[in-house]
Amino acid sequence: MAMITMTELAGLLRETGQAHHAAYRGSDGFDPEWASWYAPYLQARLGDGLGRAVTRSELTYLLIKAEREQAAADEASPWPEFYARVLLET
């Protein structure tokens, strides 16, 4: 069972996005390997917040999965909430 709420996880994802954008300011936040950057940032802050330990590789996979699912669903909800839902459901 997850220990972090969807609202908390969406906030953490939003924070991660802002940190990534700041790190890649020179390219206006563009980074084709963004999920590889997000994964260790999230892992360090999540701990066992998903109810279990997750590896960087798994987080990278889940982030890409969420991105693809949102694109396929043509989902209108903000990306942090959508991604949080995917991460918590997996």
Q: Which residue ranges in the chain fall short of pLDDT 70?
A: 1-2, 28-29
Pair of tokens at residue 7: 């609202």
What is the spatial distance between Cα 44 and Cα 53, in angstroms, rounded to a whole number? 11
pLDDT digits (tens, 9 = 90+) for 40-61: 999 999 988 999 989 999 999 9
What is the spatial distance between Cα 48 and Cα 46, in angstroms, rounded to a whole number? 6
What pLDDT is stored for residue 19 in this prediction?
92
